[in-house]
Structure 1
């Protein structure tokens, strides 16, 4: 399979009128966002086209295969969003679909967790997008997703024992659930504004996406980093990512030197910013949604927010 970036699949194209066709299109957008995220290079500590980062059990081909395997689950969630009005019934349906999607992922990857966090984050967002296809701006979609995240799922396991859940308990951070219930602040206030500002400055697309990732890493309490390296590693990642951006990011020689220092340190610590990667994929998904059929995507409504607002993943 060819490793290419960036994808322009359906970017900002009007969604089909029928709910089934619309669900298929939305699922394709999720799949392409996940593939674009893993293909983006270079990314410190993460799987990309150069290698496995801080992971021994993951590679680019496996991540792409996982994203493709999950497309039917995202399509089913989107269709549920279009067809089910009752919040509790919808929340429990997409919860079940998400758990089924996770089982399909684990079967396809031989038991390796490739996209567990993304199933939660992008599952909520694709459902929310399908709920109101006439209101596809990033903020309205995230707001609907937050309301869904706050609805209890009676059939969800009380405890999963996953590393992210343990990190939330051990370090008092909100994790992926906290990020969703808060309306995805790191997507709306950090990743999307950074992405759009970099584009507006004429920075090439892959560097703009890396800048959005670094902006997220610099301010996110990433449970993937905490689970592997604890608070010291998290502080090092946040400080290092901010330093790369302060030096101009990948667009400048100084920024590239700072990036190499950050990556070397993260690999030595064996940490990977998986939470930030999931939120970047979410930002890429929201970025390519049309606000309304035939209308250009929304301008940056979060430009008044400070990128240093601190949230959780």
Structure 2
């Protein structure tokens, strides 16, 4: 067992959640500046939630190292969700992140255990070869439980993709959309904040966010997608007035109570993948 690797990975996961929280302007979402479209949570709520998850990502990375079946990963995620809800007074701050970042940590742990160099391809391969069948089944499963998530209800009603489909397909929105957008902005010489903003808007422009459908229906989803596409068409953060454009989008979302929480979860996951792939120390010591 490579405890130092799992511990470091767990810290990076929490830092990635924190990076998503503090990003601003982040249309419709909670930040240190305001609560976006939410009246039931603040930045403090998210910080309490993160503290409750500090051991979860370490534990699920260890499970991935041990080739744990998907049922075991799911059990760890459900336990983490109980701790999150206890810490937040029943408010769902990180359900999607528990699922997405947790699976990524497990996949990275699996790569580490098999001495596979960490790369986007390796992480996606670990997901598909180790838990692909179970993830496909999880994507198509339905629940008669009254506690079925809003995301699952919306996915069934609108046929919108959600976290389950993302995972079953190897997180294409992260690896094919958000991560390349983030890297392009950094390569252009702009800072990390700009890179994360461009990544976030790229996600909003491409994904069918079940959180948005839940609050705004098809019209709300179209608003989110269209405004994000307009922001990117203007050049994203390369535009000299990008902050003003992002703030206008934020105010529109708040007026319409739109909250792209699915995109936020995927942004945090993108930050995690980027952090891990940028940290060469874990690949250099595989020899």
Compute the TM-score of the two structures, normalised by the length of structure 2: 0.89
What does residue 95 of structure 2 align with? 116
Matched, 1:161 2:148: yes
Query: How many Å separate the matches in 1 of 2:204 and 2:64?
Result: 31
What does residue 266 of structure 1 align with? 253
Matched, 1:126 2:108: no
What does residue 242 of structure 2 align with? 255
Structure 1 residue 139: Cα displacement: 2.6
Structure 1 runs not aligned, ≥5 long:
1-17, 297-313
Structure 1 residue 58: Cα displacement: 1.5
Query: How many Å separate the matches in 2 of 1:258 and 1:191?
Result: 20
Structure 1 residue 111: Cα displacement: 0.6
Structure 2 runs not aligned, ≥5 long:
none
Post-superposition CA distance 1:103-135 (Å, at most 9, x none): 000011111101000011011100000001233
Matched, 1:180 2:162: no
When residues 22 and 266 of structure 1 are mapped into structure 2, their CA distance, relative to the original with a 3 A threshold, is: same
My pick for the range that moved more, 239-248 or 191-200, is 239-248
1:140 to 99, 122, 126: 122
Q: Is the 8 A contact 1:192 1:283 kept in 2?
A: yes
Query: How many Å separate the matches in 1 of 2:226 and 2:159?
Result: 20
SS of match in other structure, 1:221: coil
What does residue 23 of structure 1 align with? 6
Matched, 1:79 2:62: yes
1:218 to 185, 205, 208: 205
Matched, 1:65 2:48: yes
Count of residues in Structure 1 that have an aligned counterpart in Structure 2: 273
Query: How many Å separate the matches in 2 of 1:46 and 1:146?
Result: 31
Query: How many Å separate the matches in 2 of 1:190 and 1:126?
Result: 20
Structure 1 residue 62: Cα displacement: 1.6
1:100 to 43, 67, 79: 79
Q: Is the 8 A contact 1:247 1:254 kept in 2?
A: no
Q: Is the 8 A contact 1:23 1:130 kept in 2?
A: yes
Query: How many Å separate the matches in 2 of 1:157 and 1:238?
Result: 27
Aligned-pair Cα RMSD in Å: 2.0
SS of match in other structure, 2:194: helix
Post-superposition CA distance 1:9-65 (Å, at most 9, x none): xxxxxxxxx522221111111111111111111100011111110111121122122
My pick for the range that moved more, 109-118 or 130-139, is 130-139
Post-superposition CA distance 1:45-86 (Å, at most 9, x none): 011111110111121122122112112111111111112x3x
Structure 1 residue 143: Cα displacement: 3.1
Q: Is the 8 A contact 2:111 2:122 kept in 1?
A: no
